[in-house]
């Protein structure tokens, strides 16, 4: 799988239609019996009476949820973990040292193929680590995971990297931002203090008749700053092509449909009505439709002076 960087984030050209959208997410809290997420203080008091060895504390990211940590969760149980070879933000430990659910969660990084690169908080606990909840794309519920984890993949340029306290972690959403597919990272199989997702998934709103999704600008890159308002309703979001978002979670970087301009240059197809209205008639007339669907035009990857237009990033 290609290693993605934030520099390769969705680099939309300024002609993309800006929008102010992003509906408020539903935020119901659920009492989960397994590790008990309490939505009221009385419930936590009842839990305290039954399980005096558990640790209870308000969640820092979602204050009206109390996390109940089982005995032993997060405690250092692996002597000499510091002596393993170093890797990115962690150490190389034998894969067999971790529960099966973590085998595809932890990256190989620079380790041998029968090892996994485990950050300190996972290495010293043998995988029985405490979760860190966070707010991901569109303030959706997420979990802090190692940035090189296979579960991150092509999400990396688009998810927050400053919402996690542990170095080298990024905030992955519990659910896919457009399809609401459960990504499997908000689970007690991953962390011993994880009750599962406590906020129902709310997909990003569609815009321009379903051609795009209203997407937070901080998930798209700096080139969104010159976008103009379109048909999204809330500040801080823009209408972005759905191909760039539906493809998150795949093995390859999400890209727009490939095309060639009339001059034989590489380009990508963009919907004319949704994303190219800011161009004048003369500029739009210079774009061809070869290789694109009805209503789309082929936008070159670079301008005549070799500056990137952003559509191929």
Indicate the domain borders of the chain. Answer: 10-22+203-246, 38-73, 81-123, 258-300
| Dihedral over Cα of 14, 15, 16, 20: its sign | positive
Q: What is the CA angle 276-279-282, rounded to 5?
A: 120
The per-residue pLDDT for range 31-44, each reduced to its tens digit, is: 222 233 334 444 44
Q: How many residues does the chain have?
A: 313
Q: Walk along the chain (313 residues) in steps of 10 and give the mean pLDDT of each run.
A: 44 40 35 33 42 57 73 92 96 96 95 96 94 90 94 91 90 95 93 88 91 87 50 83 88 87 89 84 79 92 78 82
CA distance 47 to 41: 10
Question: What's the pLDDT score for residue 307?
Answer: 78
Question: What's the pLDDT score for residue 25?
Answer: 36
Tokens representing 163 are 């919402």
The per-residue pLDDT for range 188-221, each reduced to its tens digit, is: 899 998 888 988 898 999 999 999 999 888 887 6
The per-residue pLDDT for range 8-29, each reduced to its tens digit, is: 444 443 344 443 344 333 333 2
Question: What's the pLDDT score for residue 282?
Answer: 65
């Amino acid at each position: 799988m290609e290693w993605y960087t934030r520099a390769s984030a969705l680099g939309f050209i300024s002609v993309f239609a800006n929008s102010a959208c992003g509906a408020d997410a539903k935020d119901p809290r659920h009492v989960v019996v397994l590790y008990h997420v309490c939505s009221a203080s009385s419930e936590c008091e009842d839990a305290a009476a039954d399980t005096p060895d558990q640790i209870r504390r308000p969640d820092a990211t979602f204050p009206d949820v109390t996390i109940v940590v089982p005995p032993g969760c997060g405690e250092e149980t692996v002597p000499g973990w510091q002596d393993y070879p170093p890797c990115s933000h962690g150490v190389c430990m034998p894969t067999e040292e971790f529960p099966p659910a973590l085998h595809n969660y932890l990256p190989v990084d620079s380790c041998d193929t029968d090892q996994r690169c485990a950050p300190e908080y996972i290495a010293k606990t043998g995988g029985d680590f405490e979760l860190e909840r966070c707010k991901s794309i569109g303030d959706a519920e997420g979990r802090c995971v190692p940035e090189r984890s296979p579960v991150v993949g092509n999400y990396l340029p688009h998810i927050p990297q400053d919402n996690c306290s542990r170095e080298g972690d990024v905030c992955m959403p519990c659910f896919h931002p457009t399809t609401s597919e459960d990504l499997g990272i908000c689970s007690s199989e991953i962390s011993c203090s994880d009750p599962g997702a406590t906020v129902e998934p709310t997909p990003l709103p569609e815009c321009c008749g379903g051609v795009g999704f209203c997407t937070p600008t901080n998930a798209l890159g700096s080139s969104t700053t010159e976008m103009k308002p379109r048909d999204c309703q809330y500040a801080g979001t823009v209408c972005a092509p759905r191909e760039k978002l539906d493809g998150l979670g795949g093995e390859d970087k999400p890209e727009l449909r490939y095309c060639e301009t009339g001059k034989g240059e590489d380009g990508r197809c963009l919907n004319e009505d949704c994303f190219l209205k800011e161009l004048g008639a003369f500029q739009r007339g210079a774009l061809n439709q070869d290789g694109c669907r009805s209503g789309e035009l082929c936008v070159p990857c670079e301008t005549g002076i070799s500056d990137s237009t952003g559509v191929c990033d």
